[in-house]
Amino acid sequence: MGAQLRVFRRRIRSVQATKKITKAMELIASSRIVKAQQRLEASTPYLIQLTQAISAAASHASDIANHPLIARDETPKRAAMLLITADRGLAGAYSANAIREGVALTRLLNERGVEVVPYVVGRKGVAWFKFRGLPMAGEYTGFTDQPTYDHARRIGDDLLEAYLKPTDEGGVDEIHIIYTHFANMASQQVRVRRALPIELVEETVDASAGEGLPFPLYEFEPGADAVLDALLPRYIDHAVYSALLMSAASEHAARRRAMKSATDNAEDMIRSLTRQANQARQAEITQEISEIVGGADALASA
Q: Is position 3 within any domain? A: no
Query: 188-203 burial, b if ≥16 CB within 10 A, otherwise e?
Result: bebeeeebbbbeeeee
159: domain CATH number is 3.40.1380.10
Query: Considering the domain boundaries, does residue 238 fall inside one?
Result: yes
At 156-198, the pLDDT tens digits run: 889 988 888 887 787 888 889 999 988 877 788 899 988 877 7
SS3 of 44-106: the string is: HHHHHHHHHHHHHHHHHCCCHHHCCCCCCCCCCCEEEEEEECCCCCCCCCHHHHHHHHHHHHH
Inter-helix orientation angle 149-164/224-301, to 10°:
120
Residue 108 belongs to domain spanning: 61-199+224-257
Q: What number of CA atoms fall less than 13 Å from residue 61's CA on the CB side?
A: 21
pLDDT recorded at residue 70: 67
d(CA 151, CA 193): 19
Residue 53 falls inside a structural domain = no
What band does 220 get if pLDDT is binned at 50, 70 and 90? low
Asked if the structure places residue 99 within a domain, the reply is yes
Q: What's the mean pLDDT when you consider all of the chain? A: 82
Q: Is residue 116 part of a domain?
A: yes
- What is the mean pLDDT of the segment spanning 89-107? 90
CA 262 to chain centre: 20
Q: Please check whether residue 157 lies inside any domain of the structure.
A: yes
Of residues 74 and 5, which shows the higher confidence score?
A: 5
Share of the chain above pLDDT 70, in %: 84
The answer to whether residue 229 is domain-embedded is yes
Contact status, residue 197 vs residue 174, Cβ threshold 8 Å: yes
Quote the pLDDT of residue 86: 92
Q: Residue 94 above 80 pLDDT?
A: yes
32: left (phi over 0), alpha (psi -120 to 50) or beta: alpha
User: Does the pLDDT value for residue 149 go beyond 80?
Assistant: yes
Q: Is 54 contained in some domain? A: no
End-to-end CA distance of the chain: 31
Which whole number is the average pLDDT over 144-149?
A: 88
Question: Which residues make Cβ contacts (< 8 Å) with residue 249, sequence separation at least 6?
Answer: 33, 36, 37, 40, 182
Number of domains present in the structure of the chain = 1
